[in-house]
């Protein structure tokens, strides 16, 4: 179940000022070790240690492959690829472009695929409002 809270947009110059929006509530973030333990508890046939070792190796290999300029697709999870952060303003011409002056960094991109695509998640999601946020009054304020 995806729990959510409501928040009001309080940016005065926004065209959506005072409109209410849902934001997901996250109770915790689990790491690879916790995920490995969870997998073991689902009778995967593999120990927690084996699951953890395989996942750690997978993470290292994904990094290696995307830095080599390849996309890595993990079926029903995501396609991992590299993205470039360009500097603001860009170069005036291709001849003036240099990587050191016009590229400020590299980022990891992940595009959902298979059972994690948005359209599939929309069909499977169950939503529940929680009261961790102030509720609107009859006048629309807090």
Q: Convert the pLDDT of each residue in 64-90 to its tens digit.
A: 999 999 999 999 999 999 999 999 999
The total of other beta-carbon atoms located within 10 Å of residue 52's CB is 20
pLDDT at 43 over 90: no
The residue assigned the tokens 């990891």 is 108
Tokens of 95: 């001849």
User: Residue 78: which of 113, 107, 117 has the closest Cα?
Assistant: 113
**pLDDT grade, residue 125 (50/70/90)?**
confident
pLDDT value, residue 55: 96
pLDDT value, residue 39: 93
Q: Could you tell me where the DSSP H helices lie in 73-117?
A: 99-102
Three-state SS for 115? helix
The residue assigned the tokens 């500097």 is 87
């Amino acid at each position: 179940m995806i729990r959510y809270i409501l928040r009001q947009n309080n940016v005065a110059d926004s065209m959506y000022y005072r409109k209410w929006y849902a934001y997901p509530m996250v109770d915790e973030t689990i790491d690879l070790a916790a995920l490995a333990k969870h997998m073991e508890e689902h009778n995967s046939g593999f120990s927690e240690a084996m699951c953890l070792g395989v996942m750690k190796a997978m993470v290292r290999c994904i990094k290696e492959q995307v830095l080599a300029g390849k996309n890595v697709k993990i079926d029903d999870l995501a396609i991992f690829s590299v993205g470039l952060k360009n500097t603001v303003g860009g170069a005036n011409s291709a001849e003036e472009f240099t990587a050191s002056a016009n590229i400020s960094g590299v980022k990891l991109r992940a595009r959902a695929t298979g059972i994690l695509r948005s359209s599939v998640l929309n069909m499977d999601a169950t939503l529940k409002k929680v009261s961790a946020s102030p509720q609107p009054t009859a006048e629309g304020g807090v």
